[in-house]
Structure 1
Amino acid sequence: MQEKDGMGEISPPPPAKRQPPTVRLRRLAAELRHLRQEAGLSQAEVTEKTDVNLATLHRIETAKAKPQLRTLNALLDAYGVTGNRRADLITLQKEAKQRGWLHGFEADLPSPYSAYIGLEAEARQAINYESLFIPGLLQTEDYARAVVRGVRPTATDDEVETRITARMQRQALLESDTPLRLWAILDQAALSRTVGNDAVMRDQLVHLSRQAQRPHITVQVIPFSAGAHPGMPGSFIVLKFDADSPDAIHIDSMAGGLFLEKETDIQQYNHICEHLRAIALSPTDTAALIASLREDY
């Protein structure tokens, strides 16, 4: 039922609230932008090759609009995309409005175009809670190799090295002129469990200490003395983007990587982050604890 204003006229309905882009749509936008750049084409050159309107192309590449299938095919033709990669992008287009996403971690997942890696590269900040491991962005190569071999005992040498290469490449996000801001919260168990051997752990803790001194990286440890806490059910990452783009929550599991996008889930995990930061040691006390544990190795 429409409302009448004070003059007896029918007031127009309020404008519909624009839905924020889903993880799928953001990934599709990022991949299309990367494909254009790989092809060495400007947006203007793409419009000449495809007849796709410049404003439309900009909206597609910034996840403000879902491309129609014929538009997507025209762009993929211009970029020379074929085979499985093309099929994957068409699937993304068809499912772009769906929220929540369980993406299986197959052997070839760690590529520049995998779901999580692509989103992480678009984020401006990551809040990473880990209960059992050092966060991937802060791992040394030897520690990462020991983790992958331990977690995936049936993986081939090639599969292990593919994952290690991807993990090391991800760390470039911390080295750019506008680096990713990382807030890492670790349970003390992640520091106390020997991964690899004593030498691997000693080098890892030295590296963690050095990284924690950088202005865009904050490290806090939740000591054993804190008792039970909300992070104990498992690790997660909150990715934060520009102000007009909602956060994305990523949870790793043996079944795959689960993206959470509901507003209630985002609020819950941000609240958990606040609680974990409050009960964790300060960055200064964390540095002292890491130095103490390092002596054990």
Structure 2
Amino acid sequence: MKHGPAVRRRRLGAELRALRARAGLTSGETARLVGWHQSKVSRIETGRSGVKPADVRLLLDAFEVSDDALRDLLVSLAGSEDGGGRHWWHAYRSLLPPAYRDFISLEAQACRVRTVETSVVPGLLQTPDYARAVTRAAVGGLPDGQVDALVEVRIARQDVLRSPSPVRLSAVLDEAVLRRRVGGPRVMAEQLRHLAAVARLPHVRLQVLPFASGEHVGLTGPFVVFSFPNTSDLDVVVLDHLTSSLYLERKEDLKAYTDAFTSLQRHALSPEDSLDFIAGIAGVHRPPDSERT
């Protein structure tokens, strides 16, 4: 069974392989030291198999790694003690592609999320009707039951904003996100009201990048930066494409995208002015009297 996001399995495997080599051990010798089959060591090192925190500690003991900071970092890459195999999204495994499950897992473990969106409202801020319209547009032809399940997943993800220790969310939205009439006037009016409500939460910082700002680095496309407790070494940038997601972990990439996010925040309206801006655009999406509830 593969536990946790593939991106973190590969990172952990590479680190463990390097430590084994530094200790002067072969994979076979390591397997004998910890009482495993050699194939298990190989699967872990190549990221094809997950590993529990307790097993990481066993390997680090075998490699005589005493650096507490390094040990904590590598154990955190393994995730939770149960291997992360029974989280809420496990019930949707047959419906969700691996890349999406990886994304949800990272989102659930992150302490901070920074997101730039140029086309649609971020998933963590979508209403059910808006999410349904986006899902139908992105994966047309699905039966209603599968669409409903994907919307359930989208809304369940938002629990990270309502937990006792909620994720800190910083979002920069291009004006196009607010003006694009997804789902019709009623859906958009409701979505903008929801945006304004969530933006007032103490752990959410929402900013709008108006058309008047001109060209900006965000024109290259949306991205998400996940940050994790205790160390920046685990930060990940995610770029979404139509059929796949790209995960970036190199320090140069992380710096480029975090710098880009900071630049976009400087060019965007303040959170207070953004709320006023959203309220102004809400009038554009005001539904006819016959559609109001």
On whether the aligned pair clears a TM of 0.5, the verdict is: yes
Other-structure match for 2:145? 158
- Unpaired segments ≥5 residues, structure 2: 14-33, 37-51, 59-70, 286-293
Q: Secondary structure at the match of 2:206?
A: strand
Q: Which of 165, 169, 182 is the equivalent residue of 1:178?
A: 165
Q: Is the 2:53–2:76 contact (alpha carbons within 8 Å) kept by the matching residues of 1?
A: no
- Unpaired segments ≥5 residues, structure 1: 1-20, 30-49, 68-74, 86-105
Q: Is the 1:110–1:163 contact (alpha carbons within 8 Å) kept by the matching residues of 2?
A: no
Query: Structure 1 residue 248 and structure 2 residue 236: aligned?
Result: yes
Cα distance, 1:27 vs. partner? 9.6
Distance 1:141 1:229 in 2: 31
- Choose between structure 1 and 2 for higher RCO, CA contacts under 8 A separated by at least 6 residues: 1
Distance 1:165 1:62 in 2: 34
Distance 1:170 1:57, change over 3 A: same
Q: Is the 1:110–1:162 contact (alpha carbons within 8 Å) kept by the matching residues of 2?
A: no
Give deviations 1:175-230, integer Å, cap 9, x for gaps: 00000000011000000000001000000000000000000001000000011110
Distance 1:148 1:64, change over 3 A: same
Other-structure match for 1:42? none
Q: Secondary structure at the match of 2:137?
A: helix
Q: Relative to structure 2, which stretch is displaced further, 210-219 or 158-167?
A: 158-167
Other-structure match for 2:119? 132
Q: Which of 206, 222, 228 is the equivalent residue of 1:219?
A: 206
Distance 1:163 1:243, change over 3 A: same
Cα distance, 1:258 vs. partner? 1.1
Distance 1:195 1:227 in 2: 24
Q: Which of 278, 282, 285 is the equivalent residue of 1:294?
A: 282
Other-structure match for 2:269? 281
Q: Which of 242, 256, 260 is the equivalent residue of 2:248?
A: 260
Q: Relative to structure 2, which stretch is displaced further, 156-165 or 197-206?
A: 156-165
Identical-residue share of aligned pairs (%): 37
Give deviations 1:78-114, integer Å, cap 9, x for gaps: x999xxx9xxxxxxxxxxxxxxxxxxxx972279991
Distance 1:80 1:135 in 2: 26
Q: Number of aligned pairs?
A: 224
Distance 1:127 1:213 in 2: 17
**Alpha-carbon RMSD:** 3.5
- Relative to the length of structure 2, the TM-score reads 0.68
Q: Secondary structure at the match of 1:296?
A: helix
Give deviations 1:126-166, integer Å, cap 9, x for gaps: 00100010110000000000011112222232332221111
Other-structure match for 2:290? none
Give deviations 1:55-87, integer Å, cap 9, x for gaps: 8447489661699xxxxxxx99xx999xxx9xx
Cα distance, 1:28 vs. partner? 8.6
Other-structure match for 1:36? none
What is the 5 A alignment of 1:37-52? none
Cα distance, 1:233 vs. partner? 1.5
* Structure with a larger share of its residues in helix: 2
Q: Which amino acid aligns with 1:179?
A: P
Q: Is the 1:220–1:281 contact (alpha carbons within 8 Å) kept by the matching residues of 2?
A: yes
Query: Structure 1 residue 24 and structure 2 residue 8: aligned?
Result: yes
Q: Which amino acid aligns with 1:204?
A: Q
Distance 1:112 1:121 in 2: 14
Query: Structure 1 residue 229 and structure 2 residue 216: aligned?
Result: yes
